[in-house]
Structure 1
Amino acid sequence: MTATLSKSFQKPLLAALAMVGAGASFALVNGALQASTMQLGVPSTSAAFWQYALGLLVALPWVLRRGLTALKTRQIGLHLLRAVLAVIGIQMWVAGLARVEIWQAIALVMTSPFFVIIGAKLFFGERVGAVRWLATLAGFSGGMVILAPWNNGFDWGAVLPVAAAAFWAGTSLVTKKLTQTENADSITLYLLLLLTPVNALLALGEGGVVPSGAALWLLVGAGVLTVLANYLLTLAYQKADAAFVQPFDHLKLPLNIAVGFFAFGFAPSGAFWPGALVIVGASLLVMLDEQKRASRQSAAAAKA
Structure 2
Amino acid sequence: MSTSRSSTRASAAVVGASWMVFAGAAFAVTNSAMQYLTMVQGLSSTSATFWQYLISLVAMVPVIWRIGVDGLHTEQLALHLFRVFLAALGVQFWVAGLANGVPIWQGIALLMTSPFFVTIGAAVFLREKASGQRWVATAVGFVGGMIILSPWDEAFQLVTFLPIIAALLWGSSILCMKKLEESESPQSVTLYLLLLLTPVNLVLALLAPGGLSIPEGMNMWWLIILAGLLGAIAQGSLAMAYEKVDAAYLQPFDHLKLPLNVLCGFIVFSWVPPGNLWLGAALIIGASLYIVHVERERN
Q: Which amino acid aligns with 2:250?
A: V
In structure 2, what is the equivalent of residue 61 of structure 1?
A: 62
Q: Deviations over 1:162-193 (max 9, x none)?
A: 00000000011111111111112211111111
Out of 148, 158, 161, the position equivalent to 1:159 is 161
Query: Within 5 A, what are the aligned runs for 1:276-291?
Result: 276-291=281-296
| CA contact 2:41–2:218 (8 Å) conserved in 1 | no
Out of 170, 173, 176, the position equivalent to 2:175 is 173
Question: Is there any run of 5+ residues in structure 1 with no aligned partner, and where?
Answer: 295-304
Summarize the Cα distance change of 1:5–1:134 in structure 2 as closer, same or farther, 3 Å threshold: closer
CA distance in 1, matches of 2:278, 2:67: 45
Query: Within 5 A, what are the aligned runs for 1:80-159?
Result: 80-99=81-100, 100-159=102-161
CA distance in 1, matches of 2:64, 2:283: 41
* Residue 66 of structure 1, CA deviation: 3.5
User: Among the aligned pairs, what percent are the same residue?
Assistant: 50
Query: Within 5 A, what are the aligned runs for 1:252-271?
Result: 252-271=257-276
| CA contact 1:203–1:209 (8 Å) conserved in 2 | no
Q: Deviations over 1:147-171 (max 9, x none)?
A: 1111222110000000000000001
Report runs of 4+ in structure 1 exceeding 6 Å deviation. none
CA distance in 2, matches of 1:130, 1:107: 25
* Residue 57 of structure 1, CA deviation: 0.8
Q: Which amino acid aligns with 2:55?
A: L
In structure 1, what is the equivalent of residue 198 of structure 2?
A: 196
In structure 2, what is the equivalent of residue 10 of structure 1?
A: 11
* Residue 121 of structure 1, CA deviation: 0.5
CA distance in 2, matches of 1:71, 1:214: 38
In structure 2, what is the equivalent of residue 47 of structure 1?
A: 48
| CA contact 1:70–1:186 (8 Å) conserved in 2 | yes
In structure 2, what is the equivalent of residue 73 of structure 1?
A: 74
Out of 235, 249, 252, the position equivalent to 1:247 is 252
In structure 1, what is the equivalent of residue 233 of structure 2?
A: 228
| CA contact 1:31–1:102 (8 Å) conserved in 2 | yes
CA distance in 2, matches of 1:14, 1:108: 28
Note if 1:185 corresponds to 2:190: no
CA distance in 2, matches of 1:19, 1:136: 24
In structure 2, what is the equivalent of residue 301 of structure 1?
A: none
CA distance in 1, matches of 2:9, 2:63: 29
* Residue 70 of structure 1, CA deviation: 1.7
Note if 1:32 corresponds to 2:33: yes
CA distance in 2, matches of 1:280, 1:87: 25
In structure 2, what is the equivalent of residue 302 of structure 1?
A: none
* Residue 63 of structure 1, CA deviation: 2.0
In structure 2, what is the equivalent of residue 299 of structure 1?
A: none
Q: Deviations over 1:252-289 (max 9, x none)?
A: 01011011111111110122121111111111111111
| CA contact 1:96–1:158 (8 Å) conserved in 2 | yes
TM-score by length of 2: 0.94
Q: Deviations over 1:73-117 (max 9, x none)?
A: 111011001011101100000001112010000000000000000
How much is the aligned-residue C-alpha RMSD, in angstroms?
1.5
CA distance in 2, matches of 1:214, 1:133: 49
- Secondary structure of 1:124's aligned partner: coil
| CA contact 1:36–1:47 (8 Å) conserved in 2 | yes
- Secondary structure of 1:271's aligned partner: helix
TM-score by length of 1: 0.93
In structure 1, what is the equivalent of residue 221 of structure 2?
A: 216
